[in-house]
Amino acid sequence: MVLGGFVAIATVVVFAPLAVFAPRFTALRRESHGEYSRLAGGHHRAFEARWLRRDDVGSELLGSPDVSSLADLDTAFQNVTALRAFPVERRNVAVVAVAAALPIVPLVMLEIPVAEIPAANSRHPGMRGERAGALMLAGETSLTGEVEWR
């Protein structure tokens, strides 16, 4: 529980400053999408007029930069389309969460010795999984139902 809270807070602390840029990124995407759409439309019409409607292209196609500029413009348009308001991917969040949790693992291992885990399950044969683990964390239950803290 504490580990999950720490990981959540650490992740928010790392990525929260990026929220400042969200309104600007949203406006930039909206503006740029329209501008790049008009530019790409004009470029595609010019490309079609030059290369697809002419019959005498010949070997000129190999030496022309028009095809290259078409690919470059397409790449730029894809980048504008992929722009998001919050520039964080799930993978980034997972990396930060793991990095926040890793230093705490040795502390948890010191608190709960691995050798005691099977012993706790054998003392409480009817309890398995989370309930047995919770008993081990909270203390042992005596026959009268009272909790004996370690």
Which of 22-31, 52-61, 128-137 is predicted with the least confidence, judged by mean pLDDT? 128-137
CA nearest to 123, candidates 150, 108, 143, 146: 143
Does the structure show a pLDDT above 50 at 6?
yes
pLDDT in tens, 23-43: 999 999 999 888 988 888 888
Give the CA distances from residue 65 to residues 17, 36, 61, 70, 102, in Å, rounded to whole numbers and listed in that order.
42, 19, 9, 9, 51
Q: Where are the domains of the chain?
A: 2-95, 112-150
Q: What is the spatial distance between Cα 104 and Cα 90, in angstroms, rounded to a whole number?
A: 22
In angstroms, the CA 132 to CA 135 distance is 5
Check if the beta carbon of residue 123 is closer than 8 Å to that of residue 56: no
pLDDT reported for residue 120: 56
- Please work out, in degrees rounded to the nearest 5, the angle formed at the alpha carbon of residue 91 by the alpha carbons of 102 and 98: 5
Q: Could you report the per-residue pLDDT of 72-118, keeping only the tens digit for each?
A: 888 888 988 888 888 889 999 999 999 999 988 788 777 776 666 66
Q: How far apart are the C-alpha atoms of 144 and 19, rounded to whole Å?
A: 54
> How big is the chain by its Cα radius of gyration, in Å?
31
Q: What is the pLDDT of residue 40?
A: 85
Instruction: Judge contact between 111 and 67, C-beta under 8 A.
Output: no
pLDDT at 56 over 50: no
Whether the CB-CB separation of 97 and 5 falls below 8 Å is answered with: no
